[in-house]
Structure 1
Amino acid sequence: MTRLRGGVVTAVATLVAVTGCTAEQDKGSAGPGEGKGGGAALAAAESLTVKGRAPKSGYSRDRFGTAWADTDSNSCDTRDDILKRDLKEVKFTGGTCKVTYGLLDPDPYSGKRITYRRGRSQVDIDHVVALSDAWQKGAKYWDPGKRIALANDPLNLLAVDARTNRGKGDGDAATWLPPDKAYRCEYVAAQVAVKKKYGLWVTAAEQSAMKKVLTGCPDQKLPTGGNPTRAPERFRAR
């Protein structure tokens, strides 16, 4: 089942497999709900490189830059961009960037209706491919600009119920799937799209889990779009 997130404006671009530190530019502002169909998600999952998980040593959030950097230069930070994209009945303070209220209806992970109010932690912006997971599957070897891009790419970001999200941790498809089974196909397709776009690998167990989910929805679309795979030079990370 495919659920399109409300309010997404997309400049669709063809996903290109990226390896190492090659900076293929994949432009647009899509979230995980839009893409191309015809079994593309399952085919892409089967094409991902399979390797063992690298050590987590050396990982920290700082390796991916300052949280919610405005890498698309629209004068709004990434968190507010995603809130604007995914919430309904959005209200702002001081312009059209700072989101102070909205409805997550439904929350893609739990299927519940969640009210967002700024300063209360009922809504998280989740990295669909967790940054720690990315670190252990290729990002450890990237230059900072590519890690910053991944951390702020709308293709890899989703507004979700905070409590459900915190149960996910840095799990991959082999260890965590959304409780709402109706969203699992779209969720896994989003993970596949991000890993293919950035050249991240998967473990054998992870690929098996992805294929198991996507076999149940053979027409599942592969999300496309998002930001370029390298952040502007002005952004820095350790």
Structure 2
Amino acid sequence: MGVAGNRRIGLGGASLESHVLGLRVRRATPACGQHRASRRKSVTVPASPSDSGTSQRPAVTKRARAAIVIAAVLVAGVFGASALAAVPGPQSDAAGGPTASATVATASPSLTLTLASTSALTSGSEPAAAPATVRRPAAAVAGSSATEATALTLLATLPVKGKAPKTGYNRTGDFGTAWLDVDRNGCDTRNDILARDLTAIVRAGRCKVLRGTLAEPYTGRTVAFVRGNTTSSLVQIDHLVPLANAWQTGAQQLTQAQRVSLANDPLNLLAADGRANAQKSDGDAATWLPAVKAFRCTYVARQISVKVTYRLWVAPAEQDAMARVLSSCPEQRGMASALAPGAGAGAPGSGPAPAPAPAAPAPA
């Protein structure tokens, strides 16, 4: 047992000694160990054809995808730059220059029309009205020669019958909005009439009447007109033949354009005292006449001229009242509409045309 034990110890000691020596050798020669490790790492095992194909396919796919993405970005950049170059910037749009208009015209014709209108407004000139959107009312129904007679003679030509029902009457729908520019002079009808009937006028710009003095024809008073929210209504524009009365005496048979002409015809319009105009309302000569009797002949003559021009009729009581007024001025003549075919460009006066001046005597 002792010998056997010594042998195990000896063997164990030899083995231990050998192990220790081996460790010392490895510690003393690290380069050799590292050389062997690097040799082991550098050794590559050739892959089979199938294995190499499998390992390379994913790399090729990723590169192809990357190339496609890069190409798409480049193409989008080129087209985006072209689109931005075709759109004018704020400065070119405001200027409305030929280059900006030409560029936009290639991309969008409708946008070119918008820029052209903007250019005209910024340059201070008025753009031309589009034929499809702006309609000038038709001229009055009858020609200017229809009223070349005395008011009594014209009254005898008007049909006499009762008023039609007022059913369906709509001021804006039947006669257009107030106020339009029917004579295309750039100013609306209200300002045209104020400029015609007032004196000592002060304007803002070319059209808008700010102040003036009215020798009021219905009351005989002098009215100071001042434009404003609380003062403009002191002077109103009266329709001598009220539109509701016109509707009931034949205007229903007129075209829309002819009714718009009637509502804006200077022959049928007069600057008047606001309270007097409100009292008159839509009354005819049988229910309302101006307080100033000296103006009644002119007032009735203009009503008759309007009815002749637009081929309206008179009610029996209306005809009688007109005849009574004109009996005191049988020579009162009718007046032509400025919108009637063959009429002159100026607005009609409030009375008969003045007699021509006598010819100067021939020199001796």
More strand by share: 1
Q: 3-state DSSP class of the match of 2:270?
A: strand
**1:100-142 deviations in Å (ceiling 9; x for gaps):** 001002x110010011111211101000000000000011122
Matched, 1:181 2:290: no
Q: Which residue of 2 aligns with 1:91?
A: 202
- Kindly report the root-mean-square deviation, in angstroms, between the aligned alpha carbons of the 2 structures: 1.9
Task: Say which of 202, 226, 241 aligns to 1:117.
Answer: 226
Is the Cα–Cα contact under 8 Å of residues 49 and 202 in structure 1 kept in the other structure?
yes
Code of the aligned partner of 1:76:
C
**1:167-223 deviations in Å (ceiling 9; x for gaps):** 000000111000111110100000000000100000111001100000111111212
Structure 1 residue 22, shift from structure 2 partner: 8.4
The alpha-carbon distance between structure 1 residues 176 and 22, as it changes in their structure 2 partners (threshold 3 A), is: closer
The alpha-carbon distance between structure 1 residues 41 and 24, as it changes in their structure 2 partners (threshold 3 A), is: closer
Structure 1 residue 43, shift from structure 2 partner: 1.0
Structure 1 residue 59, shift from structure 2 partner: 0.5
Is the Cα–Cα contact under 8 Å of residues 140 and 261 in structure 2 kept in the other structure?
no
Structure 1 residue 225, shift from structure 2 partner: 2.9
Q: Which residue of 1 aligns with 2:176?
A: 65
Which whole-Å CA distance do the structure 1 matches of 2:220 and 2:241 have between them? 20
Which whole-Å CA distance do the structure 2 matches of 1:23 and 1:110 have between them? 32
Greater relative CO (CA pairs within 8 A, separation 6+): 1
**Structure 1 runs of 4+ with >3 Å offset:** 21-27
1:32-47 to structure 2, matched below 5 A, reads: 40-47=150-157
Which whole-Å CA distance do the structure 1 matches of 2:198 and 2:333 have between them? 22
Which whole-Å CA distance do the structure 1 matches of 2:328 and 2:313 have between them? 23
What TM-score, normalized to structure 1?
0.79
Which whole-Å CA distance do the structure 2 matches of 1:138 and 1:52 have between them? 11
Alignment: residue pair count:
198
**1:8-45 deviations in Å (ceiling 9; x for gaps):** xxxxxxxxxxxxx9844549xxxxxxx867xx011111
Is the Cα–Cα contact under 8 Å of residues 149 and 228 in structure 1 kept in the other structure?
no
Which whole-Å CA distance do the structure 2 matches of 1:228 and 1:36 have between them? 13
Code of the aligned partner of 2:273:
D
More helix by share: 2
Which whole-Å CA distance do the structure 1 matches of 2:308 and 2:185 have between them? 26
Which whole-Å CA distance do the structure 1 matches of 2:313 and 2:193 have between them? 26
The alpha-carbon distance between structure 1 residues 26 and 67, as it changes in their structure 2 partners (threshold 3 A), is: farther
Q: Percent identity?
A: 51
* Bigger radius of gyration among the two: 2
Is the Cα–Cα contact under 8 Å of residues 46 and 211 in structure 1 kept in the other structure?
no
Q: Which residue of 2 aligns with 1:192?
A: 304
